[in-house]
Structure 1
Amino acid sequence: MSSVDLTISFVIAVALYAVTYLSFVRLLRYPRNWRSPTLPMSLTTAGLVTITVSYVSVSRDGLDPAALAVTAGFIAVLFGIIAAPAIDFPSGARPVVEFLANHGDYAGLWMLAPAIAAAYAVPSVKLQGVLTAAMAIELAWFLRHRPNDRRRLYPIGGHDLSVLKAQAKGDLEGFARQHGIHELVLSDGAVYWRGCGKETLPCPFNFYVNRLGLNTAPCCREHMAELCHYVASRLRDMGVVHWLEGGNLLGAVRENGRLIAWEDDIDLSVVLDSGKTFNALATGLAECCAREGYYLDVFKNKGFISISYDPPQVWPFCWERNRMRGEIRLDLAFYRHFVSNDRPVLERNIRKGAMPSTESGGYGVPREIVLPTSTIEFLGDNIACPNQPEEYLRLLYGDFDEVVYTYVDAAAAKNRRPADTAVKRSHSLPARQ
């Protein structure tokens, strides 16, 4: 082949891998949200992988088995590494996945040595194009998110420290090393947390809270409060009826306006009325979020919108956020007016707590315990809530004064219970459902 033909083959291979990679990281939005990928998107990604592998391994001389094996194996292993943080979002005992997720910022670079070896072992310019593109992307990902000095140090004490020590069984350094807690700083007997912000990756506090049983990181608590009141203010500006939902409402009622100690997200709900539609509200919020630096994702079939603290990136690189190990987010659930068993209800697609089912197959709450909404103090400001918040909580959780460690690993919940009980007795810090 001429040098021009070789260059064209190399460029095509680079482009094919880049497109395949972007399709794959886009697919990761589903496991991050505890959902199964859609069939069309799964088939699209699988098709792109097949095309890329076929392009590298098939030539005028026929099939090259070595190129086929190396390309398919390399992509499979690298994509497994890339997917680990998203797969690790839902709870479960997966030591290998957890290990890869702990090192997700740079684990892709572990494939550099195999890539160099493969390039020498299989002298194919197409394979070299795929390997070059893959390693360039992994290097760029690492450089964008490498450790930096833009993280503020937060002192860790009180209930946060008691829970941390309980989970670490006193060995904070070993615990941090075992679970990849890069944010933990031990200095002269003091404990600090290297906080996240708009210019850094978010703390993987979802993992720390649900799997390790720690309290929500102090930086993440601040950002969750900001995100909560930002979205609530935009909804007020748009004239949308909304209210505090689920565990956040529980914190407002039971914990005197605070987040539950191990909260992992913010929950608000809206009701579509007065001619408002899902699409119109999603469009309006998307414009606000894009302008003011929040990422918005829409799940229309499930009836909710996710708004995250991290700023949106330029398309198509916005999909790379699905590689992040953590996320500070608000879920906005949509209700609609409905009549079930001759009673007016507000109905939604996804069940919340023990919310009863409706005649149409959705889940709902009696309209009169929500509307008209009232207000309650939460995270330093007033926010809309159901007009009968305690009745609403009883419908979702039964005896909501009982502490139930929803989503927290059972062993981690057992470890932290004494610290939570001590705090509850002293009335100084929250315990949670």
Structure 2
Amino acid sequence: MIGFEASAVTQIFAGLIAAGLYAAAYLSFVRLMRFPRNWLPLSQWEVLTTGLLAVLAVAWVSLSPDGPDLINFTSLAISTGFIIAVFFIIAAPAIAFRPANGLVEVLARHAEHAGLWLLGPVLVAGWHVPNSKLLAMLVAAMAIELSWFLRQHWARRRLHPLNLSDCSVLEIQANGDLKAFRRRHGIRELVLSEGAVSWRGCGKNTPPCPFNLYVNRLGLNTAPCCREHMRDISHYVAACLRDMGAVHWLEGGSLLGAVRENGTLLDWEDDIDISVLLDGDMTWDRLASGLVERGARDGYHVDLFPNNGFVSVSFDAPKPWPFKWERNRLRGEIRVDIAVYRPAISHGEAVLERRSYKGDMPATEQGGYGVPQEIVLPTSTITFEGEKISCPNKPKEYLRVLYGDFEEVEYTYLDAVAAETRRQADLP
């Protein structure tokens, strides 16, 4: 009897270790997904850490010191295949921030519950393979997936009316059949009732609308809720940077909207671009700590990428550990992308240089990308979504460096078919 109890305790303890190793690998993996979500290369160190944790989890559930063989190859195959499958499902939304194949798009579209599709294979494996450690790992994984689904499913959303432009673009992309279009693409936010067209909008404590499907793949306008949140977060970040004394300016597509669209967002905008100059008292550490402190205080998630010279400030509220990094499983994200610039000399000209490319910005001698300093400094101001915000000293020249003929509308990130339909919709 004592031996049986000792054996049971040992199995429970071994199962807890297996569950813990999987949970650690899972958390490391979802944290790793912040890189592809921001179109950045993966951190080799974080890839190595995640891989090591996954290998440890597989090794632990596969070892069978009491059996005839040291390694249970059935458990090895099941645990390896399961982790690959569930991590691929988890990664799909982040991968789909760039154009992706059909399988990735399907998984990303069903990101809230796709992990639960593995429940059937898990039950079969648990029934046929007498390995308590493997069972504990599978149960832990399914518990995580169920928790994720319930937290997304219970989020409450508010209805927003769609304006004439939104409805016009939607009608054209749907070829007049809104119900079939909604069903075919799984647009759960689209509400059709008694001739009215509304949008079940996102909020501070709900998952954001899946931008990369609706805007970039289907060619729709940015949802009204998301436009509202983009306006708020752009003004918030600009105010933070002013308070910190940081030289900053509206950048990229946001500046393009302010100039070409008379102070408004582009109809298909999916983020806000702001740049900051690091010079003198404004160092990376001061910028990062100031934004993190303010974000934690005011309910905005701040992600730092020091090796890339990049900061992401997101509209969703920071979550406590261990849920902090699960936000990287979300399909969409309302955020401000902050790129840092530094003064440099390139080909004998004073430039402001950044590490990551932007539009057609020319490369510098140092291997970065830069714009002539004289078209940025001293910064000016421009009206953007109802408020004055800093912009380059010569905003039109700045846009020409980035986009050439910026007055010509280009659907850079749209699916080719959706872009052509969209082009017809936008004709005057």
For normalisation by structure 1, the TM-score amounts to 0.95
Aligned residue in 1 for 2:12:
7
Matches within 5 A, 1:20-419: 20-60=25-65, 61=67, 62-92=70-100, 94-148=101-155, 150-419=156-425
Give per-residue Cα distances to partners, 1:96-115, cap 9 Å, x unaligned.
11111111101111112221
Amino acid at match of 2:405: D
CA distance, structure 2, for counterparts of residue 386 and residue 30 of structure 1: 28
Report if aligned partners of 2:210, 2:332 keep a CA contact under 8 Å in 1: yes
Report if aligned partners of 1:34, 1:89 keep a CA contact under 8 Å in 2: yes
Say which SS state the counterpart of residue 267 (structure 1) adopts. strand
Say which SS state the counterpart of residue 427 (structure 2) adopts. helix
CA distance, structure 1, for counterparts of residue 139 and residue 362 of structure 2: 54
Alpha-carbon offset, residue 147 of structure 1: 4.3
Report if aligned partners of 1:206, 1:327 keep a CA contact under 8 Å in 2: no
Out of 216-225 and 77-86, give the one that drifted further: 77-86
Say which SS state the counterpart of residue 337 (structure 2) adopts. strand
CA distance, structure 2, for counterparts of residue 327 and residue 307 of structure 1: 10
Say which SS state the counterpart of residue 106 (structure 2) adopts. helix
Alpha-carbon offset, residue 367 of structure 1: 1.2
Unaligned runs of 5+ in 2: none
Amino acid at match of 2:259: V
Alpha-carbon offset, residue 35 of structure 1: 2.5
Alpha-carbon offset, residue 203 of structure 1: 0.5
Alpha-carbon offset, residue 316 of structure 1: 3.4
CA distance, structure 1, for counterparts of residue 80 and residue 354 of structure 2: 43
Amino acid at match of 1:11: L
Give per-residue Cα distances to partners, 1:339-392, cap 9 Å, x unaligned.
222221111111221112222121111111111111111101110111111111
Aligned residues: 420
Give per-residue Cα distances to partners, 1:376-415, cap 9 Å, x unaligned.
1110111011111111111211111111111111211101
CA distance, structure 1, for counterparts of residue 365 and residue 41 of structure 2: 26
Say which SS state the counterpart of residue 136 (structure 1) adopts. helix
Say which SS state the counterpart of residue 84 (structure 2) adopts. helix
Report if aligned partners of 1:157, 1:191 keep a CA contact under 8 Å in 2: no
RMSD: 1.2
CA distance, structure 1, for counterparts of residue 173 and residue 19 of structure 2: 46
Give per-residue Cα distances to partners, 1:147-180, cap 9 Å, x unaligned.
44x3111112311111111111122122222222
CA distance, structure 1, for counterparts of residue 279 and residue 74 of structure 2: 61
CA distance, structure 1, for counterparts of residue 186 and residue 301 of structure 2: 26
CA distance, structure 1, for counterparts of residue 8 and residue 363 of structure 2: 66
Say which SS state the counterpart of residue 63 (structure 1) adopts. coil
CA distance, structure 1, for counterparts of residue 38 and residue 245 of structure 2: 28
Report if aligned partners of 1:67, 1:124 keep a CA contact under 8 Å in 2: yes
CA distance, structure 2, for counterparts of residue 85 and residue 162 of structure 1: 28
Aligned residue in 2 for 1:429:
none
CA distance, structure 2, for counterparts of residue 10 and residue 362 of structure 1: 50
Report if aligned partners of 1:159, 1:419 keep a CA contact under 8 Å in 2: no
Alpha-carbon offset, residue 324 of structure 1: 0.4
Out of 380-389 and 108-117, give the one that drifted further: 108-117
CA distance, structure 2, for counterparts of residue 288 and residue 317 of structure 1: 20
Unaligned runs of 5+ in 1: 423-433
CA distance, structure 1, for counterparts of residue 225 and residue 81 of structure 2: 40
Give per-residue Cα distances to partners, 1:24-69, cap 9 Å, x unaligned.
1111112212223222211221111111111111111222122112
Amino acid at match of 1:168: A
Say which SS state the counterpart of residue 321 (structure 1) adopts. helix
CA distance, structure 2, for counterparts of residue 68 and residue 154 of structure 1: 50
